[in-house]
Structure 1
Amino acid sequence: MTTFTFSLELADKVKQIAIEAGEKIMKIYDQDFTIYDKSDSSPLTEADLAAHHHIVDGLKAISSLPILSEESADIPWSERKTWVRYWLVDPLDGTKEFIKKNGEFTVNIALIEYGEPTFGVVHAPAINKTFVGQKGVGAYSEVNGLKTNIKAKPHTGNEKWKIVGSRSHQSPEINKILDSLGGEHELVAMGSSLKLCLVASGEAHMYPRVGPTSEWDTGAAHAVALGAGAKVTVLDVNKPLDADASPLRYNQKDSVLNPYFLVSC
């Protein structure tokens, strides 16, 4: 087995790869475009693939670890299940955000080790903000080169619950969770993997996800959350939130779809 050593130098290189991929996305995002979909040679597809190729080439240049990206997701389970350590990539997370041009889309790169995200970079190029986290070490956000350490904050006393949620109507499952919390709550809307980063940065207390996501959607932000002291656990809407929930894990099955999950502190 190839020896792998994680270092601050490697972390900075991965962050730079994500930022450069974001620059490639922005060249296309800043163009005039109207109607398109992901199945054709649209600006969205162009941006996705440009970021994907840059990230894959960049990661191959700095490590020999395998890479699983949304744009190269056809690697068979028979091969993937042998991986103990790999890069998990979403070159452009937040399709709807890209289409709406609201800036809330991200480039995501995570290091997965033995089923757990141990390092992650979430870069939002349109708002020039980057989140970086390493499990057991810490997490920070960076805007225009200025780094700020971030920490998840538990709900205390009688303060209003801040829950990351949809801009549109809530599902019955989410309403059930909100009802179980007691007290007042406020929904905080955000796109893409930035939802998890809101909990990591202490801007929200909780993010319950009861919709479909894939592992590349969450891996990088999951690592940021862990670095910031939050946890990401499998969510069973039929059990109390304080039940002994299992941590969300990666590359443990044929499907790359996540179960429902909860980000909390």
Structure 2
Amino acid sequence: MFLSNLLEPVKTTAREAGAILWEMYQSGNFTEQQKQDSSPVTTADLAANSHIIAKLTALTPHIPIISEETHLVPLSQRSDWARYWLIDPMDGTQEFVARSGDFAVSIALVEHGWPALGVIYWPKEDVTYYATRSNGAFKQHKNLINRMQVHQHQSDQPLRIAVSRRQPLQPIIERLHPAQVIEYMPLGSCSLKSCLVAEGKADCYLRLGPTGEWDTGAVQVIVEEAGGRILDSQFASLSYNQRETLANPDFMVMGQAAVPWQQLIKATSSDRIL
């Protein structure tokens, strides 16, 4: 009941933050700067971040918040948190700046070290993806709600892989079995590509390169409730709030469990975050 009571207010908060992003996107009334890690941040990220934090604080004043756009408290202060909010106010800032429209709001609730509630809102399409643990995953477009399920891939079909619009394709190709027929599906935003797998439009998404736990928190529960998995490049589980840094290793979002993923995708060890 705790999760179900939170779901609708969190969906509303994500949509409100998305409306802030969309208004600034359409008007062009934002500025961009570089963070210390050289990734971009805009005044739109920060405006959405402030709105989400204010709403979540009012909703659950006793639950702490981790956001990509706020200072991360030391592990010694957060390691014993039983639950916390994990947010990315705008996943896909590069897409926002590049004017593709492929950016999203991401809000997760992590309980006892694992995501239990996830909401992703895509302002351009007015689509909300959401899930709570043990209750299924759903896609909502306006008032139309459909339950999501990963694609039941057949061995004689091409493997549909979601890929970035902004990153080179060759590193992905090198990870795949050369005999497998591949259909590549370009889309912006890490979370939106993961949701493609959850709703069955893609079979897999390989993420190579820097991400944070806020990039996988919400989609972790959405993908799992749709029948898929998110694993690191060694086919091991991700972790949450276990390290001083919240950097993710390279990871894979995989659909149907019956697909022989370890035969189709080469495991690597060089990108493991310790």
Q: Is the alpha carbon distance of 1:34 and 1:135 closer, same or farther for their aligned partners in structure 2, counting shifts above 3 Å? A: closer
How much identity, in percent, do the aligned residues show?
38
RMSD between aligned residues? 1.9
TM-score normalised per structure 1: 0.87
Taking the aligned partners of 1:166 and 1:90, their CA distance within structure 2 comes to 18
Taking the aligned partners of 1:36 and 1:70, their CA distance within structure 2 comes to 16
| Paired letter, 1:19 | R
Aligned partner of 2:55 in structure 1 is 58
Aligned partner of 1:255 in structure 2 is 245
- For 1:40-79, what aligned pairs fall within 5 Å after superposition? 45-63=42-60, 64-79=62-77
- For 1:46-195, what aligned pairs fall within 5 Å after superposition? 46-63=43-60, 64-167=62-165, 168-172=167-171, 174-179=172-177, 182-192=179-189, 193-195=191-193
Report the 3-state secondary structure (helix = DSSP H, G, I; strand = E; otherwise coil) of the residue aligned with 1:52: helix
Size of the aligned set, in residue pairs, is 248
Taking the aligned partners of 1:197 and 1:66, their CA distance within structure 2 comes to 26
Q: Is the alpha carbon distance of 1:133 and 1:188 closer, same or farther for their aligned partners in structure 2, counting shifts above 3 Å? A: same
Retained in 2: the 8 A contact 1:150–1:228?
yes
Q: Is the alpha carbon distance of 1:67 and 1:35 closer, same or farther for their aligned partners in structure 2, counting shifts above 3 Å? A: closer
Retained in 1: the 8 A contact 2:161–2:182?
yes
| Paired letter, 2:96 | F
Report the 3-state secondary structure (helix = DSSP H, G, I; strand = E; otherwise coil) of the residue aligned with 1:25: helix
How far did residue 177 of structure 1 move?
A: 2.4
| Paired letter, 1:28 | M
| Paired letter, 1:61 | A
**Shift >6 Å, 4+ stretches:** none
Aligned partner of 1:241 in structure 2 is none
**Structure 1 gap segments, 5+ residues each:** 237-244
Retained in 2: the 8 A contact 1:136–1:226?
no
Retained in 2: the 8 A contact 1:160–1:183?
yes
Q: Is the alpha carbon distance of 1:36 and 1:72 closer, same or farther for their aligned partners in structure 2, counting shifts above 3 Å? A: closer
| Paired letter, 1:104 | D
Report the 3-state secondary structure (helix = DSSP H, G, I; strand = E; otherwise coil) of the residue aligned with 2:124: coil
Q: Is the alpha carbon distance of 1:226 and 1:73 closer, same or farther for their aligned partners in structure 2, counting shifts above 3 Å? A: farther
How far did residue 212 of structure 1 move?
A: 1.1
How far did residue 33 of structure 1 move?
A: 5.6
Q: Is the alpha carbon distance of 1:38 and 1:130 closer, same or farther for their aligned partners in structure 2, counting shifts above 3 Å? A: farther
